[in-house]
Amino acid sequence: MDQQPHQHKKRRIDAYPSFRLNHTDSYQGSFPVYKQPQEITSYSIDHERRVWFDNREMKYYYPPTLDKKDLNVGYDKMIQRDESIPEHIDTLLDALTNANAKQPDDNQTTADIVTWRGIMTKLLCTPYSRKEPWELRATKYNGTIYMEEQVTEKKKNSENQASDRQKLMSYWGYRFETLCTVTKPPHEMTKQDAELQERLTASANTNIQYCILVKTKLGNNSIIMGAEVDCCRGIIVIQNIKEMCIECSVIDVKPKDPLQQPSNYIELKTSRVIESERNQYSFDR
Protein backbone atom coordinates (compact mmCIF):
# COMPACT_ATOMS: atom_id res chain seq x y z
CA MET A 1 0.00 0.00 0.00
CA ASP A 2 1.40 3.37 -1.03
CA GLN A 3 2.15 5.70 1.84
CA GLN A 4 0.93 9.27 1.57
CA PRO A 5 3.29 12.09 2.59
CA HIS A 6 2.61 13.39 6.08
CA GLN A 7 0.59 16.59 6.02
CA HIS A 8 1.67 19.06 8.69
CA LYS A 9 -1.23 21.02 10.07
CA LYS A 10 -0.68 24.70 10.67
CA ARG A 11 -0.61 25.32 14.39
CA ARG A 12 -3.11 27.75 15.81
CA ILE A 13 -1.61 30.78 17.50
CA ASP A 14 -3.13 29.71 20.82
CA ALA A 15 -1.25 26.42 20.54
CA TYR A 16 2.11 28.10 21.06
CA PRO A 17 3.59 27.93 24.57
CA SER A 18 2.52 30.92 26.65
CA PHE A 19 2.22 32.01 30.26
CA ARG A 20 -0.49 33.67 32.28
CA LEU A 21 -0.12 37.38 32.95
CA ASN A 22 -1.41 38.24 36.41
CA HIS A 23 -2.13 41.58 38.03
CA THR A 24 1.00 43.65 38.67
CA ASP A 25 0.48 43.33 42.45
CA SER A 26 1.33 39.63 42.20
CA TYR A 27 4.84 40.51 41.01
CA GLN A 28 5.74 42.46 44.13
CA GLY A 29 8.60 41.10 46.21
CA SER A 30 12.34 41.11 46.60
CA PHE A 31 14.26 41.59 43.38
CA PRO A 32 16.71 38.81 42.43
CA VAL A 33 20.40 39.65 42.60
CA TYR A 34 21.54 41.34 39.40
CA LYS A 35 25.28 41.18 38.76
CA GLN A 36 27.17 44.15 37.34
CA PRO A 37 27.46 43.52 33.56
CA GLN A 38 30.98 42.92 32.29
CA GLU A 39 31.85 43.70 28.70
CA ILE A 40 33.01 40.74 26.61
CA THR A 41 33.65 42.47 23.31
CA SER A 42 32.36 45.17 20.98
CA TYR A 43 31.86 45.47 17.24
CA SER A 44 30.78 47.87 14.51
CA ILE A 45 28.30 47.59 11.63
CA ASP A 46 28.94 50.03 8.79
CA HIS A 47 26.60 51.69 6.28
CA GLU A 48 26.62 48.53 4.14
CA ARG A 49 25.78 46.31 7.14
CA ARG A 50 29.27 44.82 7.16
CA VAL A 51 30.50 43.70 10.57
CA TRP A 52 33.87 44.86 11.91
CA PHE A 53 35.29 43.66 15.20
CA ASP A 54 36.52 47.10 16.24
CA ASN A 55 35.27 50.49 17.46
CA ARG A 56 35.12 52.36 14.14
CA GLU A 57 31.42 53.19 14.52
CA MET A 58 31.56 54.18 18.18
CA LYS A 59 30.22 57.69 18.75
CA TYR A 60 31.11 60.10 21.54
CA TYR A 61 28.75 62.31 23.49
CA TYR A 62 29.16 66.00 22.75
CA PRO A 63 26.33 68.30 23.93
CA PRO A 64 24.24 69.98 21.22
CA THR A 65 25.45 73.42 20.18
CA LEU A 66 21.98 74.75 19.30
CA ASP A 67 19.59 76.36 21.76
CA LYS A 68 16.65 75.24 19.64
CA LYS A 69 16.91 71.75 18.19
CA ASP A 70 14.81 71.16 15.08
CA LEU A 71 14.39 67.39 15.02
CA ASN A 72 12.68 67.52 11.61
CA VAL A 73 15.88 68.53 9.82
CA GLY A 74 17.22 65.86 7.45
CA TYR A 75 14.12 63.66 7.53
CA ASP A 76 13.90 63.62 3.73
CA LYS A 77 17.49 62.33 3.55
CA MET A 78 17.19 59.57 6.13
CA ILE A 79 18.57 56.16 5.13
CA GLN A 80 16.76 53.30 6.83
CA ARG A 81 17.89 49.73 7.27
CA ASP A 82 15.89 47.22 5.29
CA GLU A 83 13.87 45.52 8.04
CA SER A 84 12.57 42.91 5.58
CA ILE A 85 15.98 41.21 5.62
CA PRO A 86 16.07 39.01 8.75
CA GLU A 87 19.39 39.19 10.58
CA HIS A 88 18.30 37.22 13.65
CA ILE A 89 21.09 37.17 16.28
CA ASP A 90 23.79 36.49 13.69
CA THR A 91 26.01 39.50 14.42
CA LEU A 92 25.80 38.81 18.16
CA LEU A 93 26.91 35.21 17.65
CA ASP A 94 29.64 36.24 15.20
CA ALA A 95 31.07 38.64 17.78
CA LEU A 96 30.89 36.03 20.55
CA THR A 97 32.58 33.44 18.31
CA ASN A 98 35.31 35.93 17.42
CA ALA A 99 35.90 36.77 21.10
CA ASN A 100 36.07 33.11 22.12
CA ALA A 101 38.49 32.33 19.28
CA LYS A 102 41.02 34.53 21.07
CA GLN A 103 40.68 32.57 24.31
CA PRO A 104 41.97 29.10 25.24
CA ASP A 105 39.47 26.24 25.11
CA ASP A 106 39.22 26.11 28.90
CA ASN A 107 38.30 29.81 29.13
CA GLN A 108 35.38 30.11 26.71
CA THR A 109 32.61 32.59 27.53
CA THR A 110 29.26 30.81 27.85
CA ALA A 111 25.93 31.46 29.58
CA ASP A 112 22.51 29.98 30.27
CA ILE A 113 20.86 32.55 27.99
CA VAL A 114 22.12 34.45 24.93
CA THR A 115 19.93 37.21 23.51
CA TRP A 116 19.57 40.93 22.83
CA ARG A 117 19.13 43.42 25.66
CA GLY A 118 15.84 44.46 24.04
CA ILE A 119 14.45 40.96 24.50
CA MET A 120 15.22 41.02 28.22
CA THR A 121 13.62 44.47 28.45
CA LYS A 122 10.53 43.16 26.67
CA LEU A 123 10.24 40.22 29.08
CA LEU A 124 10.75 42.25 32.25
CA CYS A 125 8.37 45.04 31.19
CA THR A 126 5.56 42.69 30.15
CA PRO A 127 3.45 43.20 33.33
CA TYR A 128 3.38 46.94 32.55
CA SER A 129 2.93 46.70 28.75
CA ARG A 130 -0.15 44.53 28.43
CA LYS A 131 -1.22 45.94 25.08
CA GLU A 132 2.05 45.10 23.37
CA PRO A 133 1.96 41.38 22.44
CA TRP A 134 5.18 39.65 21.52
CA GLU A 135 6.44 36.31 20.26
CA LEU A 136 9.91 34.87 20.78
CA ARG A 137 11.89 32.11 19.16
CA ALA A 138 14.04 30.04 21.49
CA THR A 139 16.57 27.31 20.74
CA LYS A 140 18.47 25.31 23.33
CA TYR A 141 21.87 24.08 22.22
CA ASN A 142 24.58 22.60 24.46
CA GLY A 143 22.81 23.88 27.54
CA THR A 144 22.39 27.46 26.30
CA ILE A 145 19.06 29.03 25.33
CA TYR A 146 19.29 31.40 22.36
CA MET A 147 16.38 33.83 22.04
CA GLU A 148 15.24 36.28 19.39
CA GLU A 149 12.03 38.08 18.50
CA GLN A 150 9.43 36.71 16.12
CA VAL A 151 7.73 39.80 14.69
CA THR A 152 3.97 39.50 15.18
CA GLU A 153 1.46 40.17 12.42
CA LYS A 154 0.03 42.98 14.54
CA LYS A 155 3.41 44.69 14.67
CA LYS A 156 3.96 44.24 10.92
CA ASN A 157 0.55 45.74 10.16
CA SER A 158 1.14 48.60 12.56
CA GLU A 159 4.47 49.47 10.92
CA ASN A 160 3.04 49.18 7.40
CA GLN A 161 0.10 51.41 8.28
CA ALA A 162 2.12 54.05 10.13
CA SER A 163 1.12 57.59 9.18
CA ASP A 164 3.60 60.17 7.87
CA ARG A 165 3.40 61.87 11.26
CA GLN A 166 4.25 58.66 13.10
CA LYS A 167 7.20 58.02 10.80
CA LEU A 168 8.46 61.55 11.41
CA MET A 169 8.15 61.12 15.17
CA SER A 170 10.19 57.90 14.94
CA TYR A 171 12.89 59.87 13.14
CA TRP A 172 13.20 62.40 15.95
CA GLY A 173 15.12 59.94 18.15
CA TYR A 174 17.71 59.30 15.43
CA ARG A 175 18.00 63.01 14.72
CA PHE A 176 18.56 63.74 18.42
CA GLU A 177 21.41 61.22 18.47
CA THR A 178 22.99 63.00 15.49
CA LEU A 179 22.86 66.34 17.33
CA CYS A 180 24.42 64.88 20.49
CA THR A 181 27.30 62.81 19.13
CA VAL A 182 30.58 63.12 17.25
CA THR A 183 32.86 60.55 15.64
CA LYS A 184 36.04 61.33 17.54
CA PRO A 185 36.92 61.80 21.22
CA PRO A 186 35.67 65.16 22.56
CA HIS A 187 39.10 66.19 23.80
CA GLU A 188 40.26 66.11 20.18
CA MET A 189 37.49 68.51 19.13
CA THR A 190 37.62 72.30 18.94
CA LYS A 191 34.63 74.64 18.87
CA GLN A 192 35.48 75.36 15.24
CA ASP A 193 35.54 71.70 14.24
CA ALA A 194 33.71 71.14 10.94
CA GLU A 195 31.85 68.13 12.32
CA LEU A 196 30.04 70.30 14.87
CA GLN A 197 28.68 72.45 12.05
CA GLU A 198 27.86 69.52 9.77
CA ARG A 199 25.77 67.69 12.36
CA LEU A 200 23.37 70.66 12.56
CA THR A 201 21.94 69.66 9.17
CA ALA A 202 22.92 65.97 9.11
CA SER A 203 20.39 63.18 8.74
CA ALA A 204 20.56 59.58 10.02
CA ASN A 205 21.56 56.22 8.59
CA THR A 206 20.12 53.38 10.66
CA ASN A 207 22.36 50.82 8.96
CA ILE A 208 25.25 52.08 11.08
CA GLN A 209 25.51 50.60 14.56
CA TYR A 210 27.98 50.15 17.38
CA CYS A 211 27.22 47.15 19.60
CA ILE A 212 28.61 45.54 22.71
CA LEU A 213 28.32 42.11 24.32
CA VAL A 214 28.13 41.88 28.09
CA LYS A 215 27.82 39.02 30.53
CA THR A 216 25.73 39.32 33.66
CA LYS A 217 23.68 37.23 36.05
CA LEU A 218 20.04 37.59 37.12
CA GLY A 219 19.29 35.37 40.07
CA ASN A 220 20.71 31.95 39.17
CA ASN A 221 20.70 32.60 35.42
CA SER A 222 23.85 33.71 33.62
CA ILE A 223 23.08 35.90 30.60
CA ILE A 224 25.04 37.15 27.60
CA MET A 225 23.34 40.19 26.08
CA GLY A 226 24.06 42.08 22.91
CA ALA A 227 23.07 45.74 22.75
CA GLU A 228 23.39 48.70 20.44
CA VAL A 229 25.13 51.65 22.10
CA ASP A 230 24.30 55.25 21.21
CA CYS A 231 27.54 56.80 22.42
CA CYS A 232 30.34 56.77 24.97
CA ARG A 233 30.99 59.44 27.55
CA GLY A 234 34.37 60.65 28.69
CA ILE A 235 35.76 61.26 32.13
CA ILE A 236 35.27 64.94 32.91
CA VAL A 237 38.14 66.67 34.69
CA ILE A 238 37.92 70.26 35.92
CA GLN A 239 40.90 72.20 34.59
CA ASN A 240 40.35 75.58 36.20
CA ILE A 241 37.71 77.84 37.64
CA LYS A 242 37.61 81.53 36.68
CA GLU A 243 34.91 83.89 37.90
CA MET A 244 32.47 81.04 38.54
CA CYS A 245 33.06 79.71 35.01
CA ILE A 246 34.10 76.07 35.02
CA GLU A 247 36.24 74.86 32.14
CA CYS A 248 36.32 71.12 31.62
CA SER A 249 38.03 68.67 29.36
CA VAL A 250 37.65 64.98 28.58
CA ILE A 251 40.80 62.93 29.08
CA ASP A 252 39.45 59.44 28.47
CA VAL A 253 36.62 57.93 26.43
CA LYS A 254 36.47 54.22 27.19
CA PRO A 255 37.90 52.55 30.32
CA LYS A 256 40.04 49.47 29.78
CA ASP A 257 38.47 47.61 32.71
CA PRO A 258 35.58 45.44 31.34
CA LEU A 259 33.64 46.02 34.57
CA GLN A 260 33.78 49.81 34.13
CA GLN A 261 33.07 49.91 30.40
CA PRO A 262 29.26 49.42 30.45
CA SER A 263 28.80 52.33 32.89
CA ASN A 264 30.60 54.61 30.44
CA TYR A 265 27.99 54.20 27.71
CA ILE A 266 25.06 56.55 27.21
CA GLU A 267 21.55 55.78 26.01
CA LEU A 268 19.98 58.84 24.38
CA LYS A 269 16.20 59.18 24.52
CA THR A 270 13.59 61.72 23.49
CA SER A 271 10.35 62.15 25.41
CA ARG A 272 7.18 64.15 24.98
CA VAL A 273 6.61 67.08 27.34
CA ILE A 274 4.98 65.73 30.49
CA GLU A 275 1.64 67.51 30.84
CA SER A 276 -0.47 65.08 32.85
CA GLU A 277 -0.32 62.28 35.38
CA ARG A 278 -0.86 59.82 32.54
CA ASN A 279 2.17 61.23 30.72
CA GLN A 280 4.18 60.91 33.94
CA TYR A 281 3.06 57.29 34.43
CA SER A 282 4.05 56.39 30.87
CA PHE A 283 7.43 58.06 31.33
CA ASP A 284 8.13 56.32 34.66
CA ARG A 285 7.08 52.95 33.23
Higher-pLDDT residue of 132 and 219 is 219
Confidence of residue 236 (pLDDT cuts 50, 70, 90): very low
Across the chain, the runs of DSSP E, i.e. the strands, are 38-45, 51-52, 60-61, 113-116, 135-141, 144-150, 181-182, 209-218, 221-228, 231-232, 236-242, 245-250, 265-266
End-to-end CA distance of the chain: 63
Higher-pLDDT residue of 52 and 284 is 52
Tell me what pLDDT residue 241 has.
Answer: 38
Tell me what pLDDT residue 261 has.
Answer: 64
Question: Which of 18-22, 182-186, 256-260 bottoms out in mean pLDDT, i.e. has the lowest?
Answer: 256-260
Tens-digit pLDDT profile for residues 3-22: 444 444 454 555 677 778 88
Which pTM was predicted? 0.82
Quote the CA–CA distance of 149 and 128 in Å, as a whole number: 19
Judged against a pLDDT cut of 60, whether residue 248 lies above it is answered with no
Tens-digit pLDDT profile for residues 67-107: 767 899 999 999 999 988 889 999 999 999 999 999 999 99
Judged against a pLDDT cut of 80, whether residue 187 lies above it is answered with yes
